[in-house]
Structure 1
């Protein structure tokens, strides 16, 4: 049996929705990794600061920390930028996901409406056949 264009469209919409859902999952995963990198960079600064400010730290440790701190801050800034980009990517894919779900729902609704129209047409045919039979059977009396 050949597929109707509507059934073909449903299959295409399902494939599109699957693809966008996978893309959304990947975007969320990238954002999570970016957030973990940011947390790690912030934690590294705190750990280095604690080490440099401990009572057992010598002047060399404090100097090493002050030389390292700009790189540590830059790592935090870079990680924040990655988080920002990942969040924007996630939102873009989220918008595509909402659109794909809406398109899928529209096609499903259209299919249901089409089925209902076919059912109504079948009922009209059945009623017409019954009316014709009644006319034949009782109309001649």
Structure 2
């Protein structure tokens, strides 16, 4: 096999590995994002639950007001974690997009090179046919 073809195939294998790694990273950060969203939903549910307990008379307003800053802080922290996780997901998506683009570019270069090689081979074969035809005409005095 031609050294250039080997190099291009090695590059494609490398790019495929990068795509696989980018996919794995995206899956990891999406799982983290989902966990952050669950934590936020839980914190919001906790606030609603505490509000219900007060309205139902199971908890005093004083206890609720004591708890409220803690509950709001938990919601705010969870919201920040969701935003950070979304940013990480966006970055991972961009990384996957770039890795896919690099793979497609390497595959396109290899495909172009192979096509050029096929064209060179076809020209070489045609030249051989033409040369043989000239020799045959020369031997038989044709044309």
User: TM-score when scaled to structure 2?
Assistant: 0.92
In the TM superposition, what is the alpha-carbon distance from 1:94 to its structure 2 partner? 1.0
For structure 1, which runs of at least 5 residues remain unmatched after alignment? none
Give the corresponding residue for 1:104. Answer: 103
Give the corresponding residue for 1:131. Answer: 130
Give the corresponding residue for 1:15. Answer: 17
Alpha-carbon distance in structure 1 between the residues aligned to 2:60 and 2:130: 100
- Which string of whole-angstrom CA distances, capped at 9 and with x for unpartnered residues, describes residues 94-127 of structure 1? 1111111110010010010011001001101110
1:49 pairs with 2:42: no
**Between Structure 1 and Structure 2, how many residues are aligned?**
138
In the TM superposition, what is the alpha-carbon distance from 1:61 to its structure 2 partner? 2.6
In the TM superposition, what is the alpha-carbon distance from 1:63 to its structure 2 partner? 1.6
1:33 pairs with 2:25: no
1:63 pairs with 2:62: yes
- Which string of whole-angstrom CA distances, capped at 9 and with x for unpartnered residues, describes residues 41-82 of structure 1? 00000001001111x43xx53221111110000000000000
User: TM-score when scaled to structure 1?
Assistant: 0.93
